[in-house]
C-alpha cells in the first residue's frame, strides 16, 4: 500500500513539474508566436476585430516583409547597430576586464565598496544623463553620427560589465595564479594564460549582455541621431513605422521578430555553454 502511495506521489510530482515547464514555455514563446503570425497576416485580417487574432483567417502574405526591406532602411539600421555594438563591446572589454580583475583582487572592503559604487552608476536613468552628454557630444562635433553612440554607450556598459566580471574573477582561486607565477609566469602572464581562459564563459556573457544593451537602447540613440540613415534598429523601426496614430503592425512585428530571434537563439545556446564552461574551468 505504501509502495503505491509513493509511486502516485512521485508521478504527481513529475506531472506537476512538466505542467509548470509547459506553462512557462508557452508564456516565453507566445510573444514570438504573436510576432510571427502578425508578420504574415494580411492587413484586412489584422484590422478586422471579428477575426480570430491567433490564427490566419486569410492566406498568409509577404507584403509586410516587402515593405520592411524595400521601403524602409531596415537593413541599414541593422548594419548601423552591428557597427556600434562591435566597437562598444570592444571598448567595454578593454576597460572592464582589467577593472573587474583589479577590484576582485583588491584586499579588504574597498574592492567591494568600489564595485558597488561602479554598479550604482549603471542605475542612473538615461533620462538624467542625456542632457549633459548631449553637450559633450556637441563639443566633440559628433551630432547625428554613429560615433556619438560609440562615445556614450560605454558609460553604461562598462559599469555593468565590470561589476559582472568581478563575480567571475572572485570565484577563481588565487592559488591558481600563484601556481602559474611559481612556474615562471609574471602577473600579466598568469592573467592572460590562466585567469582569462578560465573566465571565457564570463567574458562571453559580458559580450552578450553588452551587445544586447546596445541593441535595446533608445533614449541616447533618439537624442543624438536625427537622420534616418544613421539610426539604429531600436530607433529606426518605431520612428519610421509609427506615423502619427497609424501603426504598421505587420512591418513592426516583422522587424521585432527578425531582430529578436538571433538574440534568443544565442542566449539559449549560450546558457548551457556558460554553465558547462565555467564549472569545467573552475575544476581545472
Q: Which residue has the cell 502574405?
A: 61
Identify the architecture of domain 64-283 in CATH: Orthogonal Bundle (1.10)
Beta bridge partners of 246: 243
The SS3 call for residue 247 is: strand
Q: Are 251 and 241 in contact (CB under 8 A)?
A: yes
Question: Among 74-78, 117-121, 124-128, 188-192, which range has the highest average pLDDT?
Answer: 74-78
The SS3 call for residue 88 is: helix
Q: Is pLDDT of 117 > 60?
A: yes
156 exposed, middle or buried (CB, 10 Å; 0-12, 13-18, 19+)?
buried
Domain residue extents for the chain: 64-283
Confidence of residue 282 (pLDDT cuts 50, 70, 90): very low
Hey, what's the cell of 262?
538571433
What pTM value is reported for the model? 0.81
What's the pLDDT tens digit per position in 77-107? 999 999 999 999 999 999 988 888 888 877 5
Phi, psi (degrees; rounded to nearest 5) at 242: -125, 105
What's the pLDDT tens digit per position in 174-217? 777 777 777 777 777 877 887 888 777 778 888 888 888 888 88
What's the pLDDT tens digit per position in 35-82? 999 999 988 888 888 888 888 888 888 999 999 999 889 999 999 999
d(CA 50, CA 38): 16
Amino acid at each position: 500500500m505504501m509502495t503505491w502511495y509513493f509511486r502516485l506521489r512521485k508521478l504527481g510530482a513529475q506531472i506537476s513539474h512538466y505542467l509548470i515547464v509547459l506553462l512557462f514555455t508557452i508564456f516565453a514563446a507566445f510573444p514570438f508566436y504573436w510576432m510571427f503570425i502578425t508578420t504574415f497576416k494580411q492587413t484586412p485580417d489584422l484590422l478586422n476585430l471579428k477575426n480570430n487574432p491567433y490564427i490566419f483567417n486569410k492566406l498568409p502574405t509577404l507584403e509586410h516583409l516587402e515593405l520592411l526591406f524595400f521601403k524602409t532602411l531596415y537593413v541599414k539600421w541593422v548594419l548601423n547597430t552591428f557597427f556600434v555594438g562591435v566597437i562598444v563591446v570592444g571598448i567595454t572589454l578593454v576597460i572592464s576586464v582589467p577593472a573587474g580583475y583589479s577590484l576582485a583582487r583588491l584586499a579588504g572592503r574597498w574592492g567591494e565598496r568600489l564595485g558597488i559604487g561602479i554598479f550604482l552608476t549603471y542605475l542612473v536613468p538615461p533620462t538624467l544623463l542625456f542632457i549633459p552628454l548631449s553637450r559633450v557630444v556637441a563639443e566633440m562635433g559628433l551630432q547625428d553620427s554613429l560615433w556619438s553612440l560609440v562615445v556614450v554607450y560605454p558609460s553604461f556598459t562598462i559599469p555593468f560589465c565590470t561589476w559582472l566580471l568581478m563575480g567571475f574573477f572572485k570565484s577563481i582561486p588565487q592559488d591558481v595564479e600563484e601556481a602559474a607565477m611559481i612556474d615562471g609566469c609574471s602577473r600579466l602572464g598568469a592573467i592572460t594564460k590562466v585567469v582569462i581562459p578560465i573566465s571565457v564563459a564570463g567574458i562571453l556573457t559580458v559580450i552578450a549582455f553588452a551587445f544586447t544593451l546596445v541593441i535595446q537602447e533608445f533614449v541616447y540613440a533618439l537624442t543624438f541621431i536625427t537622420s534616418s540613415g544613421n539610426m539604429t534598429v531600436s530607433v529606426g523601426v518605431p520612428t519610421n513605422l509609427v506615423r502619427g496614430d497609424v501603426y504598421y503592425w505587420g512591418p513592426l512585428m516583422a522587424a521585432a521578430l527578425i531582430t529578436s530571434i538571433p538574440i534568443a537563439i544565442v542566449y539559449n545556446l549560450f546558457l548551457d555553454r556558460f554553465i558547462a564552461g565555467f564549472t569545467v574551468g573552475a575544476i581545472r
